[in-house]
Amino acid sequence: MEKEDEFLFNFFTHISQLCFDKAREHTEKEREGSPIPVHSASWTIFLNILPQVILAEKSYIEIGFLQNKHKSFLRKDNSLRSIYESLKSDIKRLEENCNHNQHEERITNYCKHLAQFLSARINLIDFYDKIHITGSNRFFKYSDLVTQMESIIEKHSHSFTDISLTPIKAIFSLECEILQQLLKALTELQRLQFLPSLALIHGAQTRLAAWENKMQNRETWKLGFLKNNPLPLLYQWFVRFKGAVLSKFSLYFHDTLAQQTTLSEMKQLCSKLQNDYFQRMVQFQKKYDSSTVVLITDNQVSCDTIEYNCFPVIVSCPMKTPPQYETLLKMIGDISNELLGNDKIIYKYSTQEQCTYVLYAIELNIYLVMIFESKKSEKDVYISNFVSELSANLRCSKIFVSLKNPTK
């Protein structure tokens, strides 16, 4: 490995391990002691750009990419995306100005690969921005996000492959693959596919563990006792995202999972999840005297978790088939356009049965239904709060929107 290759490899190793102070010291040491005068001018310019890369990466890992977007007539855009764009322009300019001698050909190669890395970062920033915007929508297809993520992976699969950028390439790949796995898991959950969802969640967890193992950030961890969580905000967001997907999985396949263990152990396992949705349903049903709280799907999916010829009840509280099952299906069929077209909770009172049906579309094919053996008002705050919180969590809207203002 050439001296410059080794320098850059160590530089990006420090960056990938979140050792930003070490990366800066490493750069300063090289800048002060570079012994090759033939290409010192271009190499010095290149070294002067690296501290800006350090600052950008430090901000990126703390989710600085959706913060501080100030742009006006008197103030230029100082968003992190614009900083990466500016760095990319500087690198491209240096690449164009390099002489074509043996030494500067190497610098030209570094510039090319570093510019590719900066382009990849810009693409990911745009993708996170899309995720954040998507979280504000009521319904969205996770498959669209999967397609975009896979496009980014494909686009950069052969980018910044120089040996000197190997450490940051590995981190970039892990980040993209975790996003891909979790978004694909959400797609499979919409289709109520048990094994594919489980495999994807496991794949994401494996990659999260690999990413954390690469973070040797003693600079931050040595002060960990002063903080609630010493890990960077972006990694924390990924952990919450995985936790949200796993919690959703535990609800959609609650009955299947419960068959593998005792009820008490199942309850204990679910209590350790980020969100114990089934227990929330139980508490709501008991506290508010609802005869049934149930999630139903109106599409005939092929799933190995529901009996009765793919009976469309996903999960029910109490854990039994609601006696009003046929009525529910007919009702959902009659008002499905209303449920999907308006973001509101629909109340239907049956004078014959003396009960109130409360319906809401969680996703395009999945409905939350609550049955009360009395008349309920549409102004009932307790019901609306329960529905709002449950739907926002199951859609992962809260997780997506939290990218804008992350907190430790």
Residue 267 forms part of a structural domain: no
Look up residue 222 and give its amino acid: K
Instruction: Report the pLDDT value the prediction gives residue 224, as an integer from 0 to 100.
Output: 46
- For residues 216 and 301, membership in a common domain is answered with no
| Per-residue model confidence as pLDDT tens digits over 174-197 | 999 999 999 999 999 999 999 999
- Express as a percent the part of the chain with pLDDT over 90: 63
pLDDT at 229: 62
| Domain identity same for 119 and 205 | yes
Predicted confidence at residue 320, as pLDDT, reads 74
395 domain residue, yes or no: yes
Digit-coded pLDDT (tens) for 227-279: 556 789 999 999 999 999 999 999 999 989 988 988 899 999 999 999 999 99
pLDDT at position 217, please? 55
Q: What pTM does this model have?
A: 0.90
Total domain count, the chain: 2
The C-alpha atoms of residue 76 and residue 283 are separated, in whole angstroms, by: 52
The residue-averaged pLDDT of 209-214 equals: 93
* Inside any domain, residue 343: yes
More confident residue, 83 or 228: 83
Q: Whose CA is closest to 316, among 367, 376, 272, 270?
A: 367
CB 371 within 8 A of CB 313: no
The whole-angstrom separation of Cα 270 and Cα 268 is: 6
If asked whether residues 96 and 7 sit together in one domain, one would say yes
Question: Domain boundary residue among 216, 250, 284?
Answer: 250
Last residue of a domain, one of 183, 215, 250: 250
Q: Is residue 83 part of a domain?
A: yes
Instruction: Tell me: cis bond preceding 318? Omega within 30 of 0 counts.
Output: yes
Whether 225 shows a pLDDT value over 50: the answer reads: no
**CA–CA separation, 392 and 70 (whole Å):** 29
Q: Is 129 helix (H, G, I), strand (E, B) or coil?
A: helix
Residue 308 has pLDDT above 50, yes or no: no
CATH number at residue 83: 1.10.3450.30
Instruction: Using the predicted structure, report yes or no on whether residue 382 has a pLDDT greater than 70.
Output: yes
Residues 66 and 150 in one domain: yes
Is the model's pLDDT at 38 over the cut of 50?
no
Buried b (16+ CB within 10 A) or exposed e, 306-319: beeeeebbbbbbee
Q: Which two tokens stand for residue 74?
A: 């008197």
DSSP state of 298: -
Q: Return the structure tokens found at 403.
A: 């990218």
Find the domain containing 133 and state its range. 3-250
Q: What DSSP state is assigned to residue 288?
A: T
Q: How many CA atoms lie within 13 A of 171 on its CB side?
A: 22
Distance (Å, whole) CA 388 – CA 282: 17
- Domain presence at residue 29: yes
For residue 183, being part of any structural domain is answered with yes
Residue 300 has what DSSP assignment? Answer: -
Residue-wise burial string across 30-60, b where 16 or more C-beta atoms lie within 10 A, e elsewhere: beeebeeeebeebbebbbeebeebbebbbbb
Q: Calculate the average pLDDT of the chain.
A: 87
DSSP H or E stretch at residue 263: helix 263-271
183 shares its domain with 289: no
Rounded-to-integer distance, Cα 186 and Cα 41, Å: 51
Q: What is the pLDDT of residue 246?
A: 97
- Give me the amino acid identity at 224: G
Q: Is residue 405 part of a domain?
A: no
| DSSP state string for 42-104 | HHHHHHHHHHHHHHHHHHHHTTGGGS-----SSS----HHHHHHHHHHHHHHHHHH--SSHHH
CATH of the domain at 360: 3.30.450.240
Do the beta carbons of residue 200 and residue 188 sit within 8 Å?
Answer: yes
What's the one-letter identity of residue 2? E
For the beta carbon of residue 347, count every other beta carbon within 10 angstroms.
18
Is 190:366 a contact under the CB 8 Å cutoff?
A: yes
Is 262 a member of any domain? Answer: no
In a shared domain, residues 35 and 99: yes
Q: Give yes or no: residues 179 and 227 share one domain.
A: yes
* 219 in the same domain as 334: no
- 243/280 same-domain check: no
pLDDT band at 69 (very low <50, low <70, confident <90, very high): low
241 in the same domain as 152: yes
Type and span of the H or E element at 341: helix 325-341
Q: Are residues 163 and 27 in the same domain?
A: yes
Domain check: are 97 and 219 in the same one? yes
Least confident residue range of 59-73, 153-167, 332-346:
59-73
The average pLDDT across 13-30 equals 95
Nearest to 128 by CA among 400, 405, 408, 407: 400
